[in-house]
Structure formats: structure tokens, C-alpha cells
Structure 1
Amino acid sequence: MSLLPTLKTQRLILRPLSPNDAVSIQNLASDRQIADTTISIPHPYPDGEAERYISKQIAEQKTGHAVTFAIELKAESKLIGISELREIETEHCVAELSYWLAVTAWGKGYMSEALKPVLNFGFESLSLNKIYAYHMARNPASGKVLQKNGFQPEGLLRQRVRKWGKFEDVRLLSLLHQEWKSKDI
């Protein structure tokens, strides 16, 4: 996969991850509320985890299995979250969308804004036919972000993940290339 481009929106810059992002990721992902509303971010967030994550994502991009964008506030050049397309299957033209946002950035429309260029990149540059995403059933705000971007419900995966010793239901949504192309999302 060629170098990941930098994508811009009115308020945001989505750029490739850098080892320099480790301190910001460590600080933001250490917030218990981030871990509580995501499927796979641990709490406490271990020291060195941000460096490991960045190295893994850069390696996954080189092999074509994932692309990860750091989300920055354009006005402040401040990292506020991550959006990635992972589990990219070129044979079936499908990938999983994953994302998280700093708690201080919640409720401001940043993630809905960030997903538009990420979806465009997935469908146009990666030639994907389907992008799917999961969210914990008790996190309906994440589902609203997906639906605002055209995702359609596929189903409820009962007790799909275990979070802090408790089994959690997870919702699966997806967006097809033809749906994305036919709508002004």
C-alpha cells in the first residue's frame, strides 16, 4: 500500500500515525471512559501500549491489512482520536471501521465529520465494497455516528465481548459502496 494521504475536513486533519503520537495516545486512551465505551481498549492503559499500537498499525499498513488515521483539530494541531480501517480483506473488498475520540471532544460532531473522508478513502482508494463496524449496545452514541454516515443495522451479537468480566451485547452495522455512492452522506 502506498503512503497514507492526509485528509482534511472543515475542522479536522486526518493524517498517518507517527511515533510522535505516543504520548498523546497514551494520555487520551488512559481515560477510563474511553475504555468503557470501546470493545478493545484496556484500562488501565499500560505504559508502552501506545508505542506498541503505533508500531503494529504502521506494520499493518505496510502489509495492506489496515490504515490508521490520527484525528487532529485543525486549529490547534492537537490529536483528539483515531479512526482506522482494519481487517482489510482484498479478496472480498471488505474492512472493519474502528474509531475512538477523546472524551473532551465528545458531542461536537467531530467523529461524524472525520468518518466522511475515511469512508471515501476506503471506497475510492481501497476499492472496498463493504465497510462494517461494531459498537457496544450500551453505547448508542457510537451507533448514531455510524447511522448518520449511512450505515445500516445488520444485527445484534448477543454477549459478543467480555468487558471487565461482564459479557456485552454488540451491534453490527455496515455500509455498502453502492449505498455510499448513491447518497450524499
Structure 2
Amino acid sequence: MTMVYVTHDQSEAMVTSDRIAVMNKGRVEQIDVPYELYRRPRTRFVAGFIGRTNLLTGCLRGPDLDFGPFRLPLHALAAAGELPAEVHVSIRPQSIQLSRERPPQRDQHVSLDATIERRSYLGESWDYHVSLGSMPESVRVSARPCEVFEVGQRVHAEIDASQVTLVQ
């Protein structure tokens, strides 16, 4: 049976749908299964509308995408075709891991120094806002309840480049 259900409740849409159409100002932004819609949004609007995300802008620098204090290798991103000089990405808060010790270097992972700016305890997780070097805005990181860091604490933030999504 085919059914069309209209809702602004993203959680409800994710749970009840086989496919979701996200619309913005009367225009379809993306149609996909819930898992792919969340994991690989195609636009900044969809990335921000479905769940929390960090929207960053970087510049192409050879084989990397340069964000200032860090670079991500383009080969780790699902980048098809020619990219513009300025590139937008979505990084979900759970795609960044925080630790007290510098993690071992791993392929497709970037580790950088960070500082905890603020935090909120949500019961099932912590919601941290961390500064990454000279970036003008903080990024959000989700951590398990047992991963407790204090405001002002210096930590290491590890970004899994395979979880970074290019968006328009």
C-alpha cells in the first residue's frame, strides 16, 4: 500500500517511512531511505534538517580539502567529478571522537588539538562544543555518558573522514 504522510517531526518520519522526501520552500531537496538521508545528505538544508550536524566550508588544496587548522584527504570522501574551489561538508557530531591522549594515526582519520568550550549532559550522551585550532566556529561532538570532559580542557578530536559528506 502506498501512503503519503506529511510531518515536520523528523524522528517520526525516520521511524515510520520507507522513503522520505525532504522539501524546502516547495522544492524537493532529496528523496531517499531514512538511513541514507541521514548518512549522506546531498544539501546543507537536508543535513541540518535531519538531525544535528556541523556544516563546514573548505578549499581544495591539491589532494586535500583544507579547513584551516586541518585537512581531509579527498580520496576518503565520496567525491565524484570535478569539485568547485570552495566545498561544503556535513560532519555529524558522532563522527568526531574526543580523547585525552592523541589517538594512533589511522588511515582516513584526522586528529587535531581541541578545547572544550561548553557541554550539556543529555543522559544518553554528552553534547560538547569544541574549538578546533583557528576555526572561527566551534563544532559539536556527541560522546557517550562515560566520556566526561571539563570546560576548558584540552583534548584530541579525531575526525573520521569516511563519515564526512559533501553537500551543495
Q: TM-score range by the shorter chain?
A: under 0.3
Structure number having the greater strand percentage: 2
- In our comparison, the structure showing a higher alpha carbon Rg is 2
Select the structure with the greater relative contact order (CA < 8 A; seq sep ≥ 6).
2
What is the TM-score when the length of structure 2 is the normalising length? 0.27
